Amino acid sequence: MQAIFRAICALLVSSLVLTVACSSPSKPVAPPPSPYWGGDLTPVVSVKELMRDLIDPLSDNIFLSVGTRVSAAGVEEWAPKTDEDWNKVRTGAVAMAEASYLLKVPRPFAPPGDENNSKGPDAPELSPAQIKEKLEKDPVLWQAKVEALRNVGRQVLDIVERRDAGALEDAAENLDNACETCHLEFWYPGQVELMKRLGR
Amino acid sequence: MRRTLFALGVVLLAGAGQAYAHHSFAAEFDGTRPVTLTGTIVTVEWVNPHSMLWIDVRGAGGRSGQVGSERWGFELSPPNALMRRGLRRAMLQPGDRITIRAYPARDGRRFASVQALILATGRTVAMGPAGGRVSP
């Protein structure tokens, strides 16, 4: 009886193995889908051009949105009032929040042949190769600077949502700090020492 | 539009436009050749990322705002940073006399980065790093 039971079990197990083996796909496992809609991201311009042609001009939508001019003509204060004014600030905020992530796409730091102001004994700026070396040595720092810029964009989006013109001055200062602290790390770090020498 | 036109005007008065709002101090200004200029305040702009100041410097035989005077533009710290250094809008009024120690632009424009403002009252307001400011 026991022998018959063992034989039935062996038959069942064999059948199961055979079934699984025959139904398993022979083709390779498909790679996981890209987390991005567009697949790989391929840059068109360098970091320097991205800054000059996109991020820097649109940062002015935030920087210049509030201010005061004092002249013989009197005192002129300006801040966003109309929908058009606020939409312009919003454009700047979206650019900071989203275009900042383009800085995470590996790309040259300057166009071919552009070495920044990196020549001479007291060169004020790092060359593209020096910047690349710094980034590769500490990519987390680069990412943190990118996130700082993105955070200011998010802050300004919130200000736009609330139509809180009084908060724009501080946000503009935050934007300035986000830009400058990154530049002092990756673009012109020698400036810290220079300012000390000048007593500033 | 009015602001844009005004900004364009003052940029032209300063001599030339700047390609970037952000730039390294040393690439644009000569830290080895400080200048001291005395003149009359024409316009002050409290705006980010650089506050701006324009003065007429009386030239030889000339009078402020007339032939013989030169208009200079200066880059200062952002408005909040100026306020933290004790500078108030009432302290910089058109027509006030002012003396400015600054570092001139390398390209020969009549444009400079301020090191210190000496107000008509005699009070000196030293700038933190302005055009080439260091992070807080």
**pLDDT tens figures, B68-99:** 789 999 999 999 999 999 999 999 999 999 99
By the CB < 8 Å criterion, does A174 face chain B?
A: no
- Å from B97 to nearest chain A CA? 14
By the CB < 8 Å criterion, does A140 face chain B?
A: no
Q: pTM of the predicted model, to two decimals?
A: 0.81
Residue of B4, B8, B47 to mutate, interface with A, max A Cβ within 10 Å: B47
Task: Give the angle subtended at the CA of B40 by the CAs of A75 and B30, to the nearest 5°.
Answer: 105
- Å from B61 to nearest chain A CA? 24
**Considering just the CA atoms, what is the radius of gyration of chain B in Å?**
14
Nearest to A67 among B45, B95, B130 (CB): B45
A200–B24 CB contact, under 8 Å:
no
**For A7-41, what is each residue's pLDDT tens digit?**
665 656 566 555 555 555 567 888 777 777 878 88
A122–B46 CB contact, under 8 Å:
no
- Å from A186 to nearest chain B CA? 11
User: β-strand B111-119 against B69-75: which pairing, if any?
Assistant: parallel
By the CB < 8 Å criterion, does B103 face chain A?
A: yes
Q: Please tell me the distance from the alpha carbon of residue B47 to that of residue B70, in angstroms, as a whole number.
A: 24
- The pLDDT value recorded for residue B130 is 44
This complex has an ipTM of 0.80
- The pLDDT value recorded for residue A198 is 80
**Nearest chain B residue (CA) to A181:** B135
Whether B103 has a pLDDT exceeding 80, the answer reads yes
Q: Please tell me the distance from the alpha carbon of residue B87 to that of residue B120, in angstroms, as a whole number.
A: 13
Whether B118 has a pLDDT exceeding 90, the answer reads yes
Whether B67 has a pLDDT exceeding 80, the answer reads no
**Considering just the CA atoms, what is the radius of gyration of chain A in Å?**
29
- The pLDDT value recorded for residue B134 is 40
B134–A173 CB contact, under 8 Å:
no
Alpha-helix runs per DSSP H in chain B:
2-14, 25-28, 79-84
Nearest to B27 among A56, A124, A180 (CB): A124
Whether B9 has a pLDDT exceeding 50, the answer reads no
